[in-house]
Chains A and B, each alone.
Chain A
Amino acid sequence: MSLLKIEDLTVEFPTRRQLFTAVNHANLSVKPGEIHGLVGESGAGKSTIGAAVMGLLERPGRIASGEIKLGGEQISGLDAEDMRGLRGKKISMIFQDPLTSLNPLFTVREQLTETILTHIGGSDADANNRARDLIDRVGIPDPDTRLDQYPHQFSGGMRQRVVIALALCTEPDVIIADEPTTALDVSVQAQILDLIKELARERQVGVILITHDMGVIADTTDRVTVMYDGKVVESGLTAQVMGQPKHEYTKSLIAAVPRPTLKLHRFPQISYGGRETRFAIDDMARHWPTVDNDSSKPVFEIRNLSKQFLLKRGLLPWDRTYFTAVDDVSFDIQAGEVFGLVGESGSGKSTVARMIAGLYPVDGGTIKFNGQLVSDLSNKAVQEEYRRQIQMIFQDPYSSLNPRMRVDEIVAEPIRHHRLMEGKEINRRVDELLDQVGLGAEAGLKYPHEFSGGQRQRISIARALATQPRFLICDEPTSALDVSIQAQILNILKDLQEYLGLTILFISHDLPVVRQMCDRVAVMKQGRMVEIQDTDDLFANPHTEYARELLRLMPKLDDLSTDGLGLES
Chain B
Amino acid sequence: MTETVETPQTAPNSRFAKFWDGDFAWSFRHSPVALVASLVVVVLVLAAIFAPLIAPYNPFDPATLNLMNGFTPPGTPNAFTQETFLLGTDDQGRDVFSTILYGLRISLFVGTAAVVLAMIIGVILGLVAAYYGGWIETFIMRVADVQLTFPAILVAMLIFGIAKGVTPPEYRNEMAIYVLIIAIALSDWVQFARVVRGAALVEKNKEYVQAARLIGRGSLPIMFRHILPNVLSPVLVIATISLALAIIAEATLSFLGVGAPPTQPSLGTLIRIGQGFLFSGEWWILFFPACTLLALALSVNLLGDWLRDALNPKLR
Q: Which residues of A contact B (CB under 8 A)?
A: 16, 354, 357-359, 383-384, 387-388, 390-392, 394-396, 399-405, 413-414, 417-418, 460, 463, 467
Contact = CB atoms under 8 A, between A and B. Distances in A.
A394 B215 contact: no
A404 B230 CA distance: 7
A400 B216 contact: no
Interface of B: 26, 206-208, 210-217, 226, 229-230
B214 A357 contact: yes
Contact of A392 (B211, B216, B217, B226): B211
A16 B230 contact: no
A358 B208 contact: no
A395 B214 CA distance: 15
A359 B215 contact: no
B208 A402 contact: yes
Given A399-B206, A402-B226, A404-B229, A387 B215 contact: yes
7 contacts: A354-B210, A357-B210, A392-B210, A400-B211, A401-B208, A413-B215, A413-B217
Most buried by B among A404, A418, A463: A404
Contact of B216 (A384, A396, A399): A384
Contact of A358 (B206, B214, B217): B214
Most buried by A among B207, B211, B213, B216: B211
Contacts of B211: 392, 394, 400-401, 460, 463
Contacts of A460: 211
B213 A359 contact: yes
Contacts, number: 58
A387 B212 CA distance: 11
B215 A414 contact: yes
B210 A403 contact: no
A185 to B, nearest CB: 21
Most buried by A among B214, B229, B230: B214
Nearest to A394: B207
B214 A359 contact: yes
Nearest to A395: B207
B207 to A, nearest CB: 4
B216 A387 contact: yes
B199 to A, nearest CB: 13
Nearest to B211: A400
**Interface residues of chain A: helix, strand, loop or mixed (majority):** loop
Given A403-B230, A418-B216, 20 more contacts: A354-B210, A357-B210, A357-B214, A359-B213, A384-B216, A387-B214, A388-B216, A392-B214, A396-B207, A399-B208, A400-B206, A400-B210, A400-B211, A402-B212, A403-B208, A404-B229, A405-B226, A413-B217, A417-B216, A417-B217
A413 B208 CA distance: 12
Contacts of B215: 387, 413-414, 417-418, 467
**Interface residues of chain B: helix, strand, loop or mixed (majority):** helix
Contacts of A383: 216
A464 B26 CA distance: 37
Given A402-B226, A402-B230, A403-B230, A394 B210 contact: yes
Contact of B208 (A16, A395, A400, A467): A400
A400 B215 CA distance: 13
Contacts of A16: 26
Contacts of B207: 394-396, 399-400
A400 B208 CA distance: 4
Contacts of A463: 211
A418 B217 CA distance: 10
Contacts of B226: 402, 405
A417 B217 CA distance: 7
B20 to A, nearest CB: 14
Contacts of A354: 210
A463 B207 CA distance: 13
Contacts of A396: 207
Contacts of A467: 215
A16 B29 CA distance: 13
Given A396-B207, A399-B207, A413 B212 contact: yes
Contacts of A418: 215-216
A460 B207 CA distance: 11
A244 B210 CA distance: 44
A405 B214 CA distance: 17
Contacts of A413: 212, 215, 217
Nearest to B227: A402
Nearest to B228: A404
Contacts of B229: 402, 404-405
Most buried by B among A359, A390, A399, A400: A399
A463 to B, nearest CB: 7
Contacts of A391: 214
A378 to B, nearest CB: 14
A390 B213 CA distance: 12
Nearest to A385: B216
A392 B208 CA distance: 11
Nearest to A391: B214
A358 B214 CA distance: 7
Nearest to A386: B216
Nearest to B218: A417
Contacts of B230: 402-404
A384 B214 CA distance: 10
Contacts of A404: 229-230
Contacts of B214: 357-359, 387, 390-392
Contacts of B216: 383-384, 387-388, 417-418
Nearest to A59: B316
B211 to A, nearest CB: 6
A393 to B, nearest CB: 9
A467 B214 CA distance: 12
Contacts of A403: 208, 230
B233 to A, nearest CB: 10
Nearest to A409: B225
Nearest to B226: A402
CB-CB nearest 6 A-B residue pairs: A400-B207, A404-B229, A394-B207, A399-B206, A387-B216, A402-B208
B212 to A, nearest CB: 7
A414 B217 CA distance: 9
A9 to B, nearest CB: 26
B215 to A, nearest CB: 5
A326 B207 CA distance: 21
A358 B216 CA distance: 9
A411 to B, nearest CB: 11
B206 to A, nearest CB: 4
Nearest to B316: A59
A417 B208 CA distance: 15
Most buried by B among A358, A405, A418: A405
Nearest to B210: A359
A354 to B, nearest CB: 8
B132 to A, nearest CB: 14
Contacts of A384: 216
Contacts of A400: 206-208, 210-211
A258 B214 CA distance: 30
A2 B229 CA distance: 55
A113 to B, nearest CB: 32
A399 B229 CA distance: 14
Contacts of A414: 215
A414 B216 CA distance: 8
A418 B208 CA distance: 18
Nearest to A415: B215
A470 to B, nearest CB: 15
A142 B63 CA distance: 92
A310 B81 CA distance: 81
Most buried by B among A383, A388, A392: A392
